[in-house]
Amino acid sequence: MKVIWSQESLKQLIEIEIFIAKDSPKRAAKFINKLIEHGEEIKDFPYKGRVVPEFSVSEIREIFEKSYRIIYRISEEQIEILTVFEGHQMLNPADLF
């Protein structure tokens, strides 16, 4: 199965990298690579993530990397990463669709 990153998720990755890079550009790049790797691993086991509590829909799931939530939607053809954000922030459903 193919993993697709939405425009919103790519925007979030850039914002996360900019924020972390204020302290350490090297650590920022390393962490972003880890988030991407973790997101790409979903293709092997798409249902391994938990159902996102805010939606309670089995096709919308999430996995975690440290305190960051990687939220994705499963369809027959692909897995779409919808957003990535720090888990202490509120999920805004309007950002996903």
CATH number of the structural domain spanning residue 26: 3.30.2310.20
Which residue type is seen at 4?
I
Q: Mean pLDDT across the stretch 7-35?
A: 96
Q: Which value, in Å, is the radius of gyration of the alpha carbons in the chain? A: 13
Provide the token pair at 96: 């996903």
Q: Is residue 94 one of the residues assigned to a domain?
A: no
79 burial class (0-12, 13-18, 19+ CB within 10 angstroms)?
buried
Residue 56's pLDDT is 87
Q: Is residue 16 one of the residues assigned to a domain?
A: yes
Give the C-alpha separation, 46 to 29, whole Å.
25
pLDDT tens digits for 25-65?
Answer: 999 999 999 999 999 999 999 999 999 988 889 999 999 99
Long-range contacts of 73-78 (CB under 8 A, 24+ apart): 74/46, 74/47, 77/1, 77/2, 78/1, 78/2, 78/3, 78/4
Q: Is residue 75 one of the residues assigned to a domain?
A: yes
Give the C-alpha separation, 63 to 72, whole Å.
8
Give me the domain span that covers residue 42. 2-88
Domain count, the chain: 1
pLDDT tens digits for 59-89?
Answer: 999 999 999 999 999 999 999 999 999 887 7
Q: How would DSSP label each residue in 34-67?
A: HHHHHHHGGGG-GGGSEEPTTT--TTEEEEEETT
